[in-house]
Amino acid sequence: MAVLGRTEIEVPRLGLGAMTWGDPKGLARLHPAKTAYGGAESAVEEAQAVSESLAAGVTLIDTAATYSGGAAELRLGELVAGKAVTVASKFPRGFFGFRADKFEEELRGSLTRLGRSKIELYQHHFPGPGTSIPDLMGRMADAVEAGKIGAIGVSNYSAAQMREAHAALAKRNIPLASNQVQYSLLYRRPEVDGVLGVCRELGVTLIAYSPLAMGMLSGKYSGDAKATGLRRLLPNFSRRGREAAAPVVNLLRQIGERHGKTAGQVALRWLIENPVVLPIPGAKNGRQARENAGALGWTLAPDEVEALDRASAAWRK
């Protein structure tokens, strides 16, 4: 267990992403996450993902109001009712035009869909030109003081935006708990754009989404194996992208063989070895949740971490 940022909230070193959960209706069925990854075959499989995760001590589950048009929050709320979990969600429900004065409405919607009176970690999903960060942080601080939020997080914030949010919250004596950004062996930009450095400096947890590079680091898409859905159109999943990633995946396999672990478990462990970072791989079923949880309870040797750093240096840009 670790502490989330400089809050008093204890969290595991690994979370569970619930991006594709739920039963969306209408246009929500075309959400990019659903069309890229697909969803579970049934709610039973999602329930198994929860059970397997909790059994392994993975008690932080992350979702967002926009996932599946709100259906992911609904499903998560149903599955964790009465269970000892740390629920994290993100707002707003839409992608465009959010203003700080809409925050209270967004919070009410998330609380209702989740069926909770408090969200342990509530995160602003995307910064935008129409959103005043100081105003928004003030409103989120009000919600903390009202007992509706346990901790304040952000997502996809730059280093400068993190500093702005942190400074606004400091005036209320409330820490900025986390910044959720993309981070993996095949996407190391937080190391060079200042985000990881500011997380260390300010005591903010970096929550890593897409920690398996959308599945590429699992080793499933080596050779001629191709991804389905929207992923097949992304550069990493082209033949050239798969060939470029092959040395990293092969090294993950080699290291995994020494520890009795899979390539994906080693990739997650590389992130966990950094005390500032908390990866949240997604899982649609119990099998995937068990696989992810295998990243816990062991360590990489320093020379193995260094070897992975060198092998993935090209993605540090």
| Strands annotated E in the chain | 2-3, 10-11, 16-17, 60-62, 86-91, 119-124, 149-155, 176-182, 205-209, 277-279
Q: Are 99 and 131 in contact (CB under 8 A)?
A: yes
Alpha carbon distance 291, 277 (integer Å): 19
Q: Report H helices in 38-176.
A: 43-55, 71-80, 103-114, 133-145, 159-170
Q: What is the DSSP track for 32-46?
A: HHHHHH---SSHHHH
The pLDDT, as a whole number, for residue 237 is: 77
Alpha-carbon dihedral 182, 216, 15, 201, rounded to 10 degrees: -30
Active site residue 67: yes
Residue 104, both tokens: 């209270």
**241 burial level (CB within 10 Å; 0-12, 13-18, 19+):** middle
Residue 234, both tokens: 């992304």
Roughly what angle, to the nearest 10 degrees, separates helices 195-202 and 159-170? 20
Alpha carbon distance 278, 41 (integer Å): 28
Annotate 1-34 with b (16+ C-beta within 10 A) or e (fewer): eeebbebebebbbbbbbbbbbbebeeebeebebb
37, 67, 187, 209: the active-site residue? 67
Alpha carbon distance 175, 178 (integer Å): 9
The pLDDT, as a whole number, for residue 226 is: 64
Q: Of 166, 168, 165, 209, nearest to 190 (Cα)?
A: 209
Alpha carbon distance 73, 62 (integer Å): 9
Q: What radius of gyration, in Å, describes the C-alpha atoms of the chain?
A: 19
pLDDT tens, residue by residue, 50-109: 999 999 999 999 999 999 999 999 999 999 999 999 999 999 998 788 999 999 999 999
Is this prediction's pTM over 0.85? Answer: yes
The pLDDT, as a whole number, for residue 234 is: 72
Reported residue count of the chain is 317
Over the chain, what is the mean pLDDT?
A: 93
Residue 256, both tokens: 């995994």
Alpha carbon distance 213, 270 (integer Å): 13
pLDDT under 50: residue ranges of the chain: 28, 35
Residue 127, both tokens: 């910064």
Alpha carbon distance 296, 56 (integer Å): 9
Question: Residues 126-130: contacts with CB within 8 Å, 24+ apart?
Answer: 126/95, 126/98, 126/155, 126/156, 127/154, 127/156, 127/157, 127/158, 127/161, 128/96, 128/98, 130/97, 130/98, 130/99
The pLDDT, as a whole number, for residue 233 is: 61
List Cα–Cα distances, 151 to 89, 174, 179, in angstroms.
11, 8, 12
